A = this chain, B = another copy of it.
């Protein structure tokens, strides 16, 4: 980087960075770009609906407007985007929600703006946003991005037509529908596994499908929590201290972090050799460094609260899986809440044996991956969830020969360590890896037991049927010998073994 001519040196805006490196954000080729555009708009819509607390209806339309050119339009019944934020939310890369300890689908402020940017550089068209918040009249915007400055350019702003609250976003882009259509269908279908309360309607040119809802019940709203002490690196700690400068250190700890009561805070400060009554503003760099390592290494602190997580849960997930797959037996298992780097973590999964599937992955179950209620469809090979699958010895559970085992695994955390900005695979974090391995084994055992007990039950009932047949013969011959009428005996067997046998 040294001694380049001076004018070749400069600050690169985030928009410029992702314009140059769009493959990192899931926009590497026309097929993936079309898929990612749908995905990002749907994620945004679902987050908006969850915030509004309504039963979500998401309408997705993909229309061919010219060869290799498509218009993607996604409409939701969420709460709308507040009008003053529309230009930046759609026209500035990395404009999004501030760090909040809460499970969300999108968190980067990157996805939708990448779709806008891609549409703009391939078709020169602005994004169209029509949104309505509450009782205000709807508004309609056309927005482009000034890539070099990473700034929205509002092309037009006018009254909108929509009557109910919600948002419609329309993006025109060059893509490849033939090569992405299947993935888009899969994405929508699989979305209903982790968002079983959503009604999706999908139109691709002249074909239409509707999927979901599998349940009318809204998922538990995830709450924003205070950070866990284990997340307190120097940077975060300094920010938190400068946000509450005038208070005593102990109070600061108790009021700023979760799982820290007065007693634990006092012990921690004694451990760190910091006077609990000092004012936070008096702490110097060394104190902050000491406090940070104490917070991260102190043993007496409980695991993070899972209030900020929103797993799907056993019944809704099983219902959704049964609606989507033809399966005889299915087991649900969950691990956590635990944590990685202070972020609460919960992993849930369903293992089922599905009919009408061809298993091409040999000696492993077919894997579907989800993170924070979003299906992950690309880059399976580098994902920690795939790695865990390969490291599990599936043959020991006796389920591989029942049919085609399918695993659907859902990682919930306030932060998902995606390997790239395209959010398609999860990095190998030791804590996540361990939990996943345990989860897979739990599932294997559960389904093994289920299939085992089902086989046992079948054997048992066959045995009882035989017994009943012979018993009735014994009774009949006995009655004939004694020269009495044959008494009814069906209920006798039933009473004897306490089971109901169908003949």
Contact = CB atoms under 8 A, between A and B. Distances in A.
Interface in A118-169: 120-124, 131, 133, 147-148, 167
Nearest to A426: B23
14 contacts: A1-B44, A2-B167, A7-B98, A9-B85, A9-B97, A12-B95, A21-B108, A21-B418, A24-B24, A28-B428, A28-B429, A29-B429, A124-B285, A419-B420
Given A2-B80, A109-B12, A20 B234 contact: no
Contacts of A292: 124
A110 B21 CA distance: 12
A92 interface: yes
A78 interface: yes
Interface string A28-67: 1100000000000000100110011000000000000000
Interface in A150-209: 167
Interface in A1-24: 1-4, 6-14, 16-17, 19-21, 23-24
A417 interface: yes
A81 interface: yes
A8 B98 contact: yes
A419 B89 CA distance: 25
A497 B20 CA distance: 62
A307 interface: no
A382 to B, nearest CB: 5
B97 A4 contact: yes
B121 A1 contact: no
Given A235-B147, A289-B123, A12 B96 contact: yes
Interface of A: 1-4, 6-14, 16-17, 19-21, 23-24, 28-29, 44, 47-48, 51-52, 78-82, 85, 88-89, 92, 94-100, 106, 108-110, 112, 120-124, 131, 133, 147-148, 167, 233-235, 239, 285, 288-289, 292, 379, 381-382, 415, 417-421, 427-430
Given A92-B11, A124-B285, A47 B147 contact: no
Contacts of A9: 85, 89, 95-98
Contact of A82 (B6, B19, B148): B6
A28 B98 CA distance: 21
A289 to B, nearest CB: 5
A87 to B, nearest CB: 12
Given A10-B95, A148-B239, A382-B381, A3 B124 contact: no
Contacts of A417: 21, 23, 28
A328 to B, nearest CB: 34
Contacts of A124: 234, 285, 288-289, 292
Nearest to A90: B1
Closest 8 CB pairs of A and B: A420-B420, A2-B48, A3-B79, A12-B94, A23-B427, A121-B235, A124-B289, A124-B234
